[in-house]
């Protein structure tokens, strides 16, 4: 039996080589791998000795030779293949152990591995006869099976082949993504898109003709959206989001909705600004949000928005949890709490709630694209980034906006953008009081927000994620006693809506940017 070992990551390779030799295997290797094995006193044959060719073309050609690939690819049941092996002096290779240059560590042309993927694919194709190992974590299980059974089972070879093709697919995906990103910078291409070809240039910049994705299962979830569904969390190969480093301190395993809602909560609380903030999420929608001078006050005010909906919700805060906040939260049934840390005995107190999932996490990253599955494919778009820049907004009414009201305007605008459309949000003194979400018309969303506010938002801000198609859309704002309305504008009836606002004494702001969310 013969094994070919050629690895960049040499973790465990000496122990594997020693184990194979003890089982009577002959070892074939190249370059640094051969040196490491030989230095350990283990007999090994250099690939160059087998092929009669040294490494050439700046080490770009080492294992690309018929005596190597013929030995891997030969169908041992095919007489013609066996005849060719005899004619050309090709010996069979029964195990291929390869891992690739770490392309993602420092992407460059020279880190594009050629020989390694060729070896892996050849061995994986011929897995009926050849084992292929691409992950050092498989070394010991492979040795154990060889020691107990004398050979690798067909099931093991098939499993290894699947992992091998996944490894080369991920490698090629990383290279394709890097090539797409190199050349003119995104900023340069964005600047170039200001010419007559603007729209098409933007599409080519952000939505290229092909998108390569490799997903790896990172976590099996307690269940899917419902208990009868299976669910798992996957990561994009080569990328690391906040979930990779999140620490769960207590509670049950996470479910699909726990993860989905927790991600929404964590992103939103970081979008509300740099001051202490808290949000409560239920079914991917905020049911409470507040900004305050300290995190305990922020949490309490967020919870006050809609205590009924907060039952069984997800809480996220952008400051370490204080002991006082921990005590306040303990009396509320909460599925998940996410925070950057914990003060004093706060974590100990929270862990007394056995079913509370407590996550300690780093800030979330930003995505270049969002994907949503449809039959046979995906819808892809650039992310909805909220531009909260009052200097670019327009006050279109006779009534103006005070300096203090602008704080509520900005918070309300950031918040309504993360509410399922049609969406209306009522905010006063940096506290949400009414959130109307997911309605088929804007008036109903407004009435729902007004009903939940229950008179607490008088003098506050009424935010709409899209324009008002008719003036009667302002009726809930008037009923709620709001002083300021913020909306994108852009309706054919804008002048009628502005007139209605003037009649009611409302200040109205046009942002020029819609934020539908489905």
Helix axes 115-125, 66-73, angle to 10 degrees: 30
Residue 476 tokens read as: 């809930």
Contact 41, 64 (CB under 8 A): no
The rounded distance, in Å, linking the Cα atoms of 338 and 314 is 8
Q: Give the closest residue to 487 by CA, choosing from 461, 510, 516.
A: 510
Give CA separation, 238 vs 119, 177, 182, 218, 262, in Å.
Answer: 22, 11, 17, 12, 23
Is residue 160 within 8 A of residue 138, CB to CB? The reply is: yes
Q: Cβ distance 231 to 255 under 8 Å?
A: yes
Active-site hit among 283, 303, 398, 400: 283
Q: Please, are residues 129 and 163 in contact by the beta-carbon 8 Å criterion?
A: no
Residue count of the chain = 518
Contact 314, 258 (CB under 8 A): yes
Catalytic residue at 452? no
Distance of CA 432 to the CA centre of its chain: 28
CA separation for the pair 253, 220 (Å, rounded): 9
Kindly state the tokens that stand for 217: 């299962």
CA dist., res. 411 & res. 400, Å (int): 18
Instruction: Please list, in sequence order, all residues whose beta carbon lies within 8 angstroms of the beta carbon of residue 145, skipping any fewer than 6 positions away.
Output: 152, 153, 156
- Report how far residue 433's alpha carbon sits from residue 457's, in angstroms, rounded to the nearest whole number: 6
Q: Is 283 a catalytic residue?
A: yes
Q: Cβ distance 116 to 144 under 8 Å?
A: no
CA dihedral 131→135→139→144, nearest 10 degrees, is -70
CA distance 295 to 442: 33
Q: Which of 10, 65, 81, 125 is catalytic?
A: 125
Taking the C-alpha atoms of residue 269 and residue 147, their distance in angstroms, rounded to an integer, is 55
| Residue in the structure block whose two tokens are 């949890």 | 321
Catalytic residue list: 125, 283
């Amino acid at each position: 039996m013969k094994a070919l070992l050629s690895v960049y990551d040499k973790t465990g390779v000496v122990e594997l080589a020693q184990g194979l030799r003890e089982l009577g295997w002959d070892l074939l290797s190249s370059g640094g791998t051969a040196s490491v094995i030989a230095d350990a006193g283990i007999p090994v044959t250099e690939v160059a000795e087998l092929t009669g060719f040294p490494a050439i073309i700046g080490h770009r050609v080492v294992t690309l030779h018929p005596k190597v690939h013929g030995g891997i690819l030969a169908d041992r049941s095919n007489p013609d293949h066996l005849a060719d092996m005899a004619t050309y002096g090709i010996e069979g290779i029964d195990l291929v152990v390869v891992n690739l240059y770490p392309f993602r560590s420092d992407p460059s042309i020279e880190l594009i591995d050629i020989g390694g993927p060729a070896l892996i694919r050849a061995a994986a194709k011929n897995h009926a006869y050849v084992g292929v190992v691409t992950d050092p974590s498989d070394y010991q299980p492979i040795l154990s099976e060889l020691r107990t059974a004398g050979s690798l089972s067909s099931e093991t070879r098939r499993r290894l082949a699947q992992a091998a093709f996944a490894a080369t697919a991920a490698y090629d995906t990383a290279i394709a993504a890097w090539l797409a990103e190199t050349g003119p910078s995104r900023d340069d291409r964005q600047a170039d898109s200001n010419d007559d070809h603007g729209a098409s240039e933007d599409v080519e910049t952000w939505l290229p003709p092909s998108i390569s994705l490799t997903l790896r299962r990172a976590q099996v979830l307690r269940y899917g959206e419902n208990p009868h569904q299976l669910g798992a969390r996957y990561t994009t190969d080569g990328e690391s989001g906040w979930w990779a480093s999140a620490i769960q301190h207590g509670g049950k395993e996470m479910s699909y909705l726990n993860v989905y809602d927790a991600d929404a909560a964590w992103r939103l609380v970081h979008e509300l600004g740099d001051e202490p903030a808290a949000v409560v999420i239920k079914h991917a929608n905020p049911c409470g949000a507040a900004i305050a001078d300290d995190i305990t006050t922020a949490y309490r005010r967020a919870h006050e928005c809609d205590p009924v909906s907060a039952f069984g919700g997800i809480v996220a805060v952008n400051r370490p949890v204080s002991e006082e906040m921990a005590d306040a939260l303990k009396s509320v049934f909460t599925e998940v709490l996410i925070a950057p840390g914990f003060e004093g005995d706060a974590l100990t107190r929270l862990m007394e709630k056995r079913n509370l999932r407590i996550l300690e996490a780093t800030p979330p990253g930003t995505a270049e694209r969002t994907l949503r599955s449809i039959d046979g494919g995906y819808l892809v778009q650039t992310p909805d980034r909220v531009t909260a820049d009052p200097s670019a907004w327009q006050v279109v009414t006779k009534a103006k906006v005070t300096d203090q009201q602008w704080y509520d305007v900005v918070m309300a605008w950031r918040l309504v953008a993360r509410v399922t459309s049609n969406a209306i949000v009522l905010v006063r003194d940096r506290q949400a009081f009414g959130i109307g979400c997911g309605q088929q018309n804007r008036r109903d969303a407004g009435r729902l927000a007004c009903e939940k506010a229950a008179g607490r938002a008088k003098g506050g801000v009424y935010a709409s994620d899209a324009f008002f198609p008719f003036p009667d859309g302002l009726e809930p704002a008037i009923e709620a006693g709001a002083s300021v309305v913020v909306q994108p504008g852009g309706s054919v009836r804008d002048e009628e809506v502005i007139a209605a606002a003037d009649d009611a004494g409302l200040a109205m702001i046009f942002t020029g940017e819609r934020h539908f969310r489905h």
